[in-house]
Amino acid sequence: MTNLLPPAFILVFGAALIPFFRGNIQRAYMLALPAAAFIALICTPLGNFGTVEFLGYDLILGRVDKLSRVFALVFTIMTFLGVLFALKVKDNLQHVSSLVYAGSTLGVVLAGDFLSLYLFWELMAVSSTFLIIASRTKASQEAAYRYILVHLAGGLFLLAGIVFYINETGTIAFDYIGLDSLSSWFIFIGIALNAAAIPLNAWLPDAYPMGTPTSTVFLSAFTTKSAVYLFIRTFPGTDLLIIIGAFMVIVPIFYAVLENDIRRVLSYSLMNQVGFMLVGIGIGTELALNGVVAHAFCHIIYKALLFMAAGSVLQMTGKIKCTEIGGLYKTMPLTCGFCLVGAASISAFPLFSGFVSKSMIVSASAQEQIFLVWLILQFASTGVVDHAGIKVPFFTFFGHDSGIRAKEPPLNMLLAMGIAAFICVGLGVYYQPLYDLLPFAVQYEPYTGAHVVGQLQLLMFGAFAFTLLILSGYYVPEVKSRNLDTDWIYRKLGRFVYRVLDKGLNSLNRLSDGILIDFAKKTSRFFQTITTNSALFFSVNFWLIQGYRKQHLTYKKNKLYKDMNHGTLPIGIATAVAISFVFIIFVLS
């Protein structure tokens, strides 16, 4: 099995050839790449493949087990749907970046060692940045700049943890790590940043809405869920994840309620759903982890469907704010129907995919008797109904009539949404194939009377809360600026540190400049004095020597040379010695 081609390479290297094709050939080629990766995964037995020796270590580019396979399968399905949705976009930057992004995510999921994981992790960050830049606006460029800075910082945390881990264990292979050492903390922080875990979450709603109508579909699917996979692999049963996840399921709800931009609403909703997954990972039981994997699978599809619907509206109308759109069900009925399927799925409505996955996590918290967490999850489920289940379709397609009369998006977009909606309904009705893919044996029945009735009650409470907000006249205000998020903390802290350092360094610079300038002045004066005195010294000595020579010649001519040679030296020499002595004393003093 060591000679098999990793599916990640099919997408990454295949993406490099996209610019060389045109028209229908290019479209067929792009659809063939994820299809080929999917077939390769189906045909690959469990085990390791793609093993390469590097610096005395074995790089495992393909580790296929029940956990990695289910994530890899849903990622390839999502890649196909994303490519289909963006098929008629004439932008090679988007096409190449999206397939490299998807391929690097597959590389992360299938990596069996830390070195190959880190390489794919960084490639994932870089390629996804280009999907944000693809909008080619000043706002998207600024968001992409912030995005890449944040993710490079997370990559440095991950790299530091990997280096410490290798030093501690002597191996680059990884599975369960646990949060009990310095290396594990660094790795944990690096993964948590990609999961948009609070308080490291502000990059997600800042960057994802800045993508194009099609690129945001890819962004919604890969980064956070690859982090969820790594948390399942390395930190299951970590209590800290329960706390982080509990905050994540609550806090984004309020931001989603306040937001006016539909794609920002969906971005906060994405964080909320990842919070459910982190709670399940923190609980760490087989039922909880099965629920996390199932929910990640379903979430990737229905969240992409919601972003597709929002992207279609943006593509056809040029608008995406709640206060600017509405009444589109009249001219975009198919898109409206697909959006309703996604909304029902994320709300965990019976007979839709979210119902058969999210309930496993909630049931796991009840089994472990974590009452407070169970209560938080129930409240969060009601909030999801309010902001994603009702708000998104209501303000987009119903609500007030904006007067916009847009037509349906192109056929490829409708097909992508139709396939995603079919999967959402199919998994809600016939969920056993999904349960068979899960890492542990499943002994769970979602369609019990108590569960169905309880979920319907939560749905009713969510609808009631939405109705109250509408009747109050508060829902939804026109917002001129963005709401403060957790990035306020490190933005303010960063500015404070910058100002302190700026003032401190400027003061230090002024002090050091003063010292250096004073030293330079004194040194200049010193050497100037030496130069002046030296010139005087050599001038005097030159004059004295010349005088001596004249006296010597005179004495010689007068035949007194012999007397001089046996008597005292000429006065010029004595004077020169005296002046030299005085000069030396002056210099030393």
Predicted confidence at residue 565, as pLDDT, reads 44
CA distance 83 to 34: 9
Do 97 and 193 fall into the same domain?
Answer: yes
Instruction: Return the higher-pLDDT residue of 561 and 246.
Output: 246
Cβ-Cβ contacts under 8 Å for 40 (sequence gap 6 or more)? 4, 5, 7, 10
- Other C-beta atoms closer than 10 Å to the C-beta of 422 total 13
Q: Is 435 part of any domain?
A: yes
Predicted confidence at residue 571, as pLDDT, reads 45
Do 268 and 221 fall into the same domain?
Answer: no
Please count the structural domains in the chain: 3
Q: Is 536 part of any domain?
A: yes
pLDDT band at 481 (very low <50, low <70, confident <90, very high): low
Predicted confidence at residue 547, as pLDDT, reads 55
Q: Is 486 part of any domain?
A: no
Per cent of the chain over pLDDT 90 is 65
Cβ-Cβ contacts under 8 Å for 161 (sequence gap 6 or more)? 183, 184, 185, 186, 187, 188, 189, 190
- Average pLDDT score, the chain: 86
* Interval 502-517 mean pLDDT: 70
Predicted confidence at residue 469, as pLDDT, reads 81
Do 191 and 280 fall into the same domain?
Answer: no
* Interval 72-88 mean pLDDT: 96
Look at residue 438 and tell me whether its pLDDT is greater than 60: yes
Query: Could you say which of 235, 267, 299 is where a domain stops?
Result: 235
Look at residue 58 and tell me whether its pLDDT is greater than 90: no
Do 387 and 500 fall into the same domain?
Answer: no
Q: Is 487 part of any domain?
A: no
pLDDT digits (tens, 9 = 90+) for 300-354: 999 999 999 999 999 999 999 888 888 899 899 999 999 999 999 999 999 999 9
Look at residue 38 and tell me whether its pLDDT is greater than 60: yes
Instruction: Return the higher-pLDDT residue of 497 and 128.
Output: 128
Instruction: Return the higher-pLDDT residue of 478 and 11.
Output: 11
Predicted confidence at residue 125, as pLDDT, reads 95
Look at residue 466 and tell me whether its pLDDT is greater than 80: yes
Q: Which range has the top average pLDDT, 156-160, 465-469, 507-511?
A: 156-160
- Other C-beta atoms closer than 10 Å to the C-beta of 461 total 17
Instruction: Return the higher-pLDDT residue of 443 and 293.
Output: 293
Look at residue 273 and tell me whether its pLDDT is greater than 80: yes
* Interval 150-176 mean pLDDT: 93
Do 462 and 505 fall into the same domain?
Answer: no
Look at residue 543 and tell me whether its pLDDT is greater than 60: no
pLDDT digits (tens, 9 = 90+) for 381-432: 998 998 888 999 999 998 887 788 889 999 999 999 999 999 999 999 999 9
Query: Could you say which of 182, 214, 235 is where a domain stops?
Result: 235
Do 414 and 497 fall into the same domain?
Answer: no
Look at residue 265 and tell me whether its pLDDT is greater than 50: yes
pLDDT band at 534 (very low <50, low <70, confident <90, very high): low
pLDDT band at 566 (very low <50, low <70, confident <90, very high): very low
CB 302 within 8 A of CB 346: yes
Do 475 and 497 fall into the same domain?
Answer: no
Look at residue 457 and tell me whether its pLDDT is greater than 80: yes
Do 458 and 517 fall into the same domain?
Answer: no
Kindly report each contact of residues 445-454 with a partner whose C-beta sits within 8 Å and lies 24 or more positions away, as own/partner: 446/355, 446/356, 446/359, 446/360, 447/350, 451/359, 451/363, 452/350
CB 310 within 8 A of CB 262: yes
Look at residue 507 and tell me whether its pLDDT is greater than 80: no
Look at residue 501 and tell me whether its pLDDT is greater than 80: no
Look at residue 1 and tell me whether its pLDDT is greater than 60: no
Predicted confidence at residue 21, as pLDDT, reads 93
Look at residue 94 and tell me whether its pLDDT is greater than 80: yes
Q: Is 464 helix (H, G, I), strand (E, B) or coil?
A: helix
pLDDT band at 542 (very low <50, low <70, confident <90, very high): low
Predicted confidence at residue 302, as pLDDT, reads 96
Q: Is 485 part of any domain?
A: no
Q: Is 511 part of any domain?
A: yes
- Other C-beta atoms closer than 10 Å to the C-beta of 131 total 28
Look at residue 200 and tell me whether its pLDDT is greater than 60: yes
Which residues on adjacent β-strands are paired with residue 62?
Answer: 49
Do 192 and 290 fall into the same domain?
Answer: no
CB half-sphere exposure, 406, CA atoms < 13 A: 27
Predicted confidence at residue 485, as pLDDT, reads 73
Predicted confidence at residue 579, as pLDDT, reads 54
Do 380 and 246 fall into the same domain?
Answer: yes
Predicted confidence at residue 367, as pLDDT, reads 92
Q: Is 117 part of any domain?
A: yes
* Interval 82-96 mean pLDDT: 94
pLDDT band at 51 (very low <50, low <70, confident <90, very high): confident
Look at residue 99 and tell me whether its pLDDT is greater than 50: yes
Look at residue 436 and tell me whether its pLDDT is greater than 90: yes
Predicted confidence at residue 6, as pLDDT, reads 84
Q: Note down the domain range covering 69.
A: 1-235
Instruction: Return the higher-pLDDT residue of 253 and 542.
Output: 253
CB 357 within 8 A of CB 291: yes
Do 259 and 216 fall into the same domain?
Answer: no
572 is written with which tokens? 């010029």
CB 570 within 8 A of CB 552: yes
Look at residue 22 and tell me whether its pLDDT is greater than 50: yes
* Interval 58-76 mean pLDDT: 93
Look at residue 523 and tell me whether its pLDDT is greater than 50: yes
Predicted confidence at residue 558, as pLDDT, reads 52
Instruction: Return the higher-pLDDT residue of 256 and 416.
Output: 416
pLDDT digits (tens, 9 = 90+) for 567-584: 444 445 545 545 554 455
Distances (CA, A) of 434 to 64, 69, 428, 442, 581: 17, 12, 10, 10, 102
Do 537 and 578 fall into the same domain?
Answer: yes
Q: Considering only CA atoms, which of 458, 484, 237, 226 is closest in space to residue 358?
A: 458
DSSP 8-state class, residue 180: -
Query: Could you say which of 479, 503, 521 is where a domain stops?
Result: 479
Q: Considering only CA atoms, which of 440, 218, 391, 375 is closest in space to residue 307?
A: 218
Predicted confidence at residue 128, as pLDDT, reads 96
* Interval 286-299 mean pLDDT: 96
Q: Is 29 part of any domain?
A: yes
Predicted confidence at residue 412, as pLDDT, reads 96
Per cent of the chain over pLDDT 70 is 83
Kindly report each contact of residues 476-483 with a partner whose C-beta sits within 8 Å and lies 24 or more positions away, as own/partner: 476/258, 476/259, 476/260, 476/322, 476/323, 476/391, 476/395, 477/260, 478/260, 478/323, 479/258, 479/259, 479/260, 483/255, 483/258, 483/259
* Interval 82-95 mean pLDDT: 94
pTM reported for the whole predicted model? 0.83
